[in-house]
Amino acid sequence: MNLRACLRQAEANLVRAQVELPAQTARWLWRHATGMQTHEMLMAMENEVEPADVSAYLRMVERRCAREPLQYITQEADFCGLTFYVDERVLIPRPETELAVHTTLAQIRRQQSAGKRAVRIVDVGTGSGAIAVALAVALDQEGDRTTAIIGVDISAQALEVAEQNAQRHEVTERVRFMQGNYLLDYDAGRFGSIDIVVSNPPYIPAEQRELLQPEVARFEPPQALFAGADGLDAYRAVIRQAAVLIAADGSIVFEVGAGQAGAVRDLLGALGGRARVSVLRDERGIERVVAAELQDQGRRHNHRRASV
């Protein structure tokens, strides 16, 4: 069998399984199975392929035909220009979550411009560590040497993946990880108050499980997907806990599901008049990030008195 025939067979199998982008997927999997680059494949289309390569390749194709996500098969996912290790222990990072990273970077700059030297960030539900590690890499590139990041997750298995990604991108000195139930186990006496909470929590209503693609419903960890009957349980928990732990002039950055921005904005109303809330849209025009900037009421009051 030559390479062209092998790819055609794989593509036909993927089409029958109703996998998106079957031709591209067939080529992606061949590259991953053999290490061949695209230009090498184009030159080798009529060449006979090694039986061992075909066997390994068709096993990958079979997994994809069973609708296992491509990222779990290749154990790689791209996020914020970085390549992360992923497997079934963690949620696959999505492009829309990059907006939460960019928003968090903007909040760091806001706090630094107001005079805060060392900003402390907690990434709640860190999973693969994608948000925490992407932030750390960006801060290193900017020359920021003081901002510290803690990634929290209830899953010890997910934290193993996060640690691996921190090592992969050489940010272990800036990012530390801890096991905890949202912020319930955060030790403010040990770590200090939090300046920024960022979170891409589970937000899918439990009843919508049957509506999800097989790749999501069958393979991704349910604890990273579902959050009660209305999908808002995680936001309620994080906001309740953050209200006690966050600095008076801190920030909260949430990724939200489509149609949830208004409800999450209302939940942030529990912080009272000290929160200025904004909603940001992703590249598809979906309201994707809700950010709250807390106002230090004491500082504002003192400023008004001094101005009189």
Question: Could you report the average pLDDT of every consecutive run of 10 residues in the chain (308 residues)?
Answer: 95 97 97 93 94 95 98 97 98 98 97 93 98 98 95 98 98 96 92 95 94 96 96 97 93 97 94 88 96 74 34
3-state secondary structure at position 91: coil
Element (H, E) at 179: strand 175-179
3-state secondary structure at position 110: helix
Cβ atoms 243, 271 nearer than 8 A? yes
Q: How many residues does the chain have?
A: 308
Angle between helices 130-142 and 98-113 (to 10 degrees): 50
Domains of the chain by residue range: 3-66, 77-306
pLDDT of 297: 62
Domain covering 77-306, topology = Rossmann fold (3.40.50)
